[in-house]
Amino acid sequence: MNLQFLVQLLVNGLVVGTLYGVVAMSFVLIYKATQVVNFAQGELLLIGAWVCWALLTRYQVPFWAGMPLTLVFMFVFGIAIQVVILRPMIGEPIISVIMVTIGLSTVFQASLKWIFGVNPQPFPRVFTSQSVNLLGLQIQTVYIMSLVVSVAMMIGMAWFFRVSKYGLAMRATAFDQQVAQSLGISVKNVFAMAWAISASVSAVAGVVVAVVNGVSSGLSAYGIKVFPAAILGGLDSIGGAVLGGIIIGLLENIAQYIDSEYLHWGNLYEIAPFYVLVIILMIKPYGLFGTHDIERV
Amino acid sequence: MAGPSLIPSGDYRTTYAADTTIFPTKASRNAAIAGIVLICFAPLAFSEYWLSILIQIGIFAIAALGLNILVGFTGQISIGHAAFFLFGAFTSAYISNTLPIPVFFAIPLAGVITALVGLIFGIPAARLKGLYLVIATLAAQYILLDFFSRADWFSGGAAPASANPFSIFGYVFRGDRQYFYVVLTYLVVSYLLVTNLMRTRDGRALVAIRDHYLSAEIMGINLTKYRTLSFGLAAFFAGIAGALYAHYQLVVSNEGFGIERSIIFLAMVIIGGTGSIMGTLMGTAFVVLLPESMEWISAGLKGSAIDKALSLNNNITFLREIAIGLIIIAFLMFEPDGLAHRWRQIKTYWKLYPFSH
C-alpha cells in the first residue's frame, strides 16, 4: 500500500475529473438545448487550445488579452458551426445529425494537424511558481489553477441557468420548443447561443489542459471521455455531467493505482472508463440523474 | 433515412413474386451478369496498381455491406465496425496459423466467429437506441482494440501477426492477379446473399424496425432478436472482409484500424446510400478512389506555386481525412440518399431522354 502515491493520484483524478466535468457540461448543454449529440466536443477543446497557443506564441499577445480573444473567436466559431452546418440538419433523423458531427470532428482534427503540425507544443509559462506544499503533498500550482477555473466555470454556468434571462430561455427551449417559441423565445438564437457557450467553455478547458500538459492533438481525447462522464450522470443533466466527470476522473486514477500496484497490465488507465461505460449502459442507461424515456403507444 | 422504396409511376407489378425479384427487368439482369463477366478479365487488362485498388474496393465493399445492413436496413448505427473488421483479420490469421485448417475454410470460419462476438456486443446494444447505441459501439471499438494490443497469444500484441497466403486443396494463390478472383467471388456471393436476405421475412422485419420500431413491435416483430441479429450479420461481413484483407496483406496489425477507419466505413455507407445494396458498392468505390485521386492531383501539382504555399504533398494524409469528413457532411446535407439515389435519377432521365417531360 503506497498511500502517498494513492493520494497523489486521487488529487490528480479530482483535477482531471473536474475538467472532464466541465467538458461534459458543455456537451450536455448542446444536447439539452438542441438535441444534437456532439462528437466534435473534443475538437472544440483542441481548437480553443491551438488558437490561444497561436495568439500567445506566434503573435506574441500577452495572456490577459489572448484568453479573451480566444473566447471571442470560439464564441463566433460556435455560432458559425450551428448556423452553417447544423441548422440545415434540423428535422433530419438523429443518426444523420450524429454522423454530421462525426464528420465535423474528422475535418477539425485533420485541419488542425495540417495547420499546426503533429508535434506537441509547450504552452508559454503563464504562472511562475511551480508547486506548493499542502498538508505534506506537493501540488503543482497549475493544478490548483485548473481546479479553480473549473469550479468557477461550473458556478458561472449555474448562475447563467438559474438567474439570467438567456439561461431561462434556454431551459424553456430544452423543456418544450413549441411552447418556448409561442412565448416569444427565438429558438434559432437559443440554438446558436448553446453552441457558442459550449464552444467557449470547452475552449477554456482546452487552454487549462494546454497550460498543464502542452498542446497536442491528444487533447481531443477529452471529447471521447465525455461520453462515459455524460452517460454516467445522465445525458440531459448538467449537474449529473459534472458529477460523472469527477467520478470518471477519479476512477481512471484508481484504475491506474490498482494497475501499477497489483495487476501490472499496463494501459488500464485509458480503457477503464469504457468498461464502466458499457456496464452503465447495461444496468442504468439513463444514468444517475437523466430523464427516463417513457414511450406511450 | 429514406430507403429504396421510391417506385416510379407507371410501374405496374401485380404479384408479390414480381415485387421481390432481384432484377426488375431482364435487361438489368443481363447487364449485371455481363458486368461480372467483364470484370473477370480485369487482371488481364489492368496494371498491378489498378488491380490493388479494385481488390481494396472489393474487400471494403463487403465490410461496408455489413454496416449497411445495420445502418441502412435496421436503422442502428455503429462506429465500431473497424474493430470487427480487425477481429476477423486476426481470427483468420490465428486459425490458419495454429490449426490445420486451410485458409479457404479459415475465412468463413473467421466470419462466423466474428459474428458471435458481434452478437455478444449486440445483446446489450439491442436494449439501446439511437445515441446510446452509438456510444456503446464506440466503447466496443476501444475495448476490442485494447484487447488486440494486449492478447499476445492471439494477435501478437504489439508486433503484427502474419497470415498465410490463400490456398485451396494445396493450390496457393500468389499475387494480386490470382487473389482478385477470390475477392470477386466473395463479393458477388455476399451481395447476392444480402439481396436475397432483403427479400425474405427476416429482411422485411429489419426494414420494419428501421421505419418505425414501435409499430414493428406491435406487429409481433421481436425487436431484441432482430436488432441482435443485425449486429451479428454486420459483424459477420466485417469478419469475412477482415479475413480477406489479412490473407491479401499477409500481415495484420492494429495500425490504421482506430475510430477513423470506422468513420470511413460509415462514410462508404452514407455516400453510397443508406439502405441500398448496389449503392454500398458505389460508395466504397468513391471513398477508396477519393484519396487516390487526391494523390494524383497533388502529385500533378508537385513543385507548383499552390503546392509550395499549402505544402500539399507533405500533408496528404491530413488532406485525405479532411476530404472524407467534408464529403460525409456534404452528402448528409445535400444528398442524404447517396449515390444510389443520384444513379436512379440519371437512369430515369435517360429512360425518357429526348422527351423528358
Contact (CB<8Å) A93/B1 = yes
Contact (CB<8Å) B322/A295 = no
Helix (H) or strand (E) holding B252: strand B251-252
Q: CB contact, 8 Å: B316 with chain A? A: no
| pLDDT score, position B313 | 65
Alpha-carbon gap: B218 to the closest alpha carbon of chain A (Å): 9
With H, G, I as helix, E, B as strand and everything else as coil, classify residue B117: helix
- The pLDDT-based confidence of B8 (bands split at 50, 70, 90) is low
Main-chain phi, psi angles of B32, to 5 degrees: -65, -45
- The pLDDT-based confidence of B6 (bands split at 50, 70, 90) is low
Contact (CB<8Å) A274/B142 = yes
ipTM exceeding cut-off 0.95 for this assembly: no
CA distance B298 to B278: 30
Q: CB contact, 8 Å: B256 with chain A? A: no
What mean pLDDT do residues A21-27 have?
A: 89
Contact (CB<8Å) A281/B124 = yes
Among A43, A84, A106, the strongest candidate for a mutation testing the B interface, having the largest count of B CBs within 10 A, is A106
Residues of B in contact with A226 (CB under 8 A): none
Residues of A in contact with B157 (CB under 8 A): none
Query: Virtual CA dihedral for A104, A106, A111, A114, nearest 10 degrees?
Result: 180
Q: CB contact, 8 Å: B171 with chain A? A: no
Identify the residue with better confidence: B95 or B125: B95
Contact (CB<8Å) B128/A235 = no
| pLDDT score, position B4 | 47
pLDDT tens digits, residue range B340-356?
888 888 877 777 777 76
Q: How far is CA B356 from the centre of its chain?
A: 35
- The pLDDT-based confidence of A75 (bands split at 50, 70, 90) is very high
pLDDT tens digits, residue range A247-284?
888 888 888 888 777 766 667 777 888 888 888 887 87
Residue B20's nearest CA partner among B187, B207, B184 is: B207
CA distance B144 to B151: 10
| B314, closest residue in chain A (CA to CA) | A114
Asked whether the beta carbons of B69 and B206 are under 8 A apart, the reply is yes
Contact (CB<8Å) B266/A270 = no
Nearest to B124 among A92, A95, A282 (CB): A282
| pLDDT score, position A77 | 93
Cell, residue B38: 467483364
Contacting B with CB below 8 Å, chain A residues are: 37, 85, 88-89, 92-96, 98-100, 102-107, 109-111, 113-114, 224, 227, 231, 235, 265, 267, 270-271, 274-275, 277-278, 281-282, 285, 295, 297
- The pLDDT-based confidence of B95 (bands split at 50, 70, 90) is confident
Residue B1's nearest CA partner among B81, B80, B77, B79 is: B77
| pLDDT score, position B3 | 42
Most confident of B138-152, B163-177, B311-325, B341-355: B138-152
Nearest to B324 among A85, A106, A274 (CB): A106
Q: CB contact, 8 Å: B300 with chain A? A: no
Tally C-beta pairs within 8 A across A and B: 119
Instruction: Write down the pTM of the prediction.
Output: 0.85
Contact (CB<8Å) A114/B139 = no
Residues of A in contact with B266 (CB under 8 A): 99, 102
The residue behind cell 436475397 is B196
Contact (CB<8Å) B329/A274 = no
pLDDT tens digits, residue range B238-263?
999 999 998 888 888 877 788 888 88
pLDDT tens digits, residue range B104-143?
888 888 999 999 988 888 777 667 766 777 888 888 888 8
CB-side exposure of B187: number of CA atoms within 13 Å? 23
What mean pLDDT do residues A100-119 have?
A: 87
Segment among A32-36, A44-48, A163-167, B191-195 with least mean pLDDT: A32-36
Alpha-carbon gap: A61 to the closest alpha carbon of chain B (Å): 25
Identify the residue with better confidence: B157 or B181: B181
- Say yes or no to pLDDT of B67 above 50: yes
How many Å is the maximal CA-CA distance in chain B? 66
Rounded to 10°, the helix B223-249/B103-127 angle is 150
Residues of B in contact with A235 (CB under 8 A): 131
Q: What percent of chain A has pLDDT over 70?
A: 92
| pLDDT score, position A128 | 62
Most confident of A58-62, A165-169, A209-213: A165-169
Rg of chain A over Cα atoms, rounded to whole angstroms, equals 19
CA distance B357 to B347: 15
CA distance B279 to B52: 21
Main-chain phi, psi angles of A139, to 5 degrees: -120, 130
The residue behind cell 505544402 is B311
Beta bridge partners, B172, equal B167
- The pLDDT-based confidence of B1 (bands split at 50, 70, 90) is very low
Residues 6+ apart with CB under 8 A from A213: none
Nearest to A114 among B79, B142, B318 (CB): B318
pLDDT tens digits, residue range B84-93?
999 999 888 8
Cell, residue A47: 481548437
- Say yes or no to pLDDT of A125 above 90: no
Contact (CB<8Å) B322/A111 = yes
Asked whether the beta carbons of A98 and B77 are under 8 A apart, the reply is yes
- The pLDDT-based confidence of A210 (bands split at 50, 70, 90) is confident
pLDDT tens digits, residue range B226-241?
888 888 999 999 999 9
Rg of chain B over Cα atoms, rounded to whole angstroms, equals 21
Q: CB contact, 8 Å: B40 with chain A? A: no
What is the residue type of A82? Q
List Cα–Cα distances, B346 to A287, B270, B339, B342, B350, in angstroms: 48, 19, 10, 6, 6
Q: What percent of chain B has pLDDT over 70?
A: 90
Residues of B in contact with A281 (CB under 8 A): 124, 128, 132, 135-136, 139
Alpha-carbon gap: A284 to the closest alpha carbon of chain B (Å): 11
Residues of B in contact with A111 (CB under 8 A): 318, 322
Identify the residue with better confidence: B286 or B311: B286
CA distance B98 to B110: 13
Contact (CB<8Å) A100/B127 = no
**DSSP alpha helix (H) spans, chain A:** 3-34, 41-53, 63-81, 94-116, 141-162, 165-175, 177-182, 187-213, 221-233, 238-258, 268-283
CA distance B324 to B326: 5
- The pLDDT-based confidence of A127 (bands split at 50, 70, 90) is low
Q: What is the mean pLDDT of chain B?
A: 82
| pLDDT score, position A195 | 92
Alpha-carbon gap: B196 to the closest alpha carbon of chain A (Å): 26
With H, G, I as helix, E, B as strand and everything else as coil, classify residue A164: coil
With H, G, I as helix, E, B as strand and everything else as coil, classify residue A91: coil
- The pLDDT-based confidence of A129 (bands split at 50, 70, 90) is low
Alpha-carbon gap: A179 to the closest alpha carbon of chain B (Å): 25
- Say yes or no to pLDDT of B61 above 90: yes
